[in-house]
Structure 1
Amino acid sequence: MIHAIEEDSIVADKVRVGDKLVAVDDEDVRAMTAARISKLISKKMNNPSRKFTIIRQERADLTSRSGR
């Protein structure tokens, strides 16, 4: 799960706190620790592009309107 995003990150406008990172360049990372994922991403830092697969849980609107 994404806990923080640096403001100057190139993905700052694409990911949100709470998103779940499930793959990096089609490699499943769901069972990896945050440290291992970070190392994997760092290893690929010289690649011209990287693909991140994210699952976003949209928040349900919990308010109700009764018309009163």
Structure 2
Amino acid sequence: MVNAMDMDTRIGQLVMAPLYAGNDPASLASLIADRHVGSVLIIGKWTGGVASVRAADDQLQGYAPVITA
């Protein structure tokens, strides 16, 4: 899979972006889709419990391009 990535994508996969509780996951859309950020650290006290973290994670996953080998 790595061999199918261009250099920008490979570099982006090394970057981790923070998503703080209460922030809109859409704020990271461009970083994930255009800059290929490889992971997100979910930080803070999420008052909606597991369901709100899951919803944020699902939204973030939707921004990631599909890479095929």
Between 1 and 2, higher relative CO (CA 8 Å, sep ≥ 6) is seen in: 2
Do Structure 1 and Structure 2 share a fold, with TM-score over 0.5? no
Query: What TM-score do the two structures reach when normalised by structure 1?
Result: 0.31
Which structure has the highest helix share of the two? Answer: 2
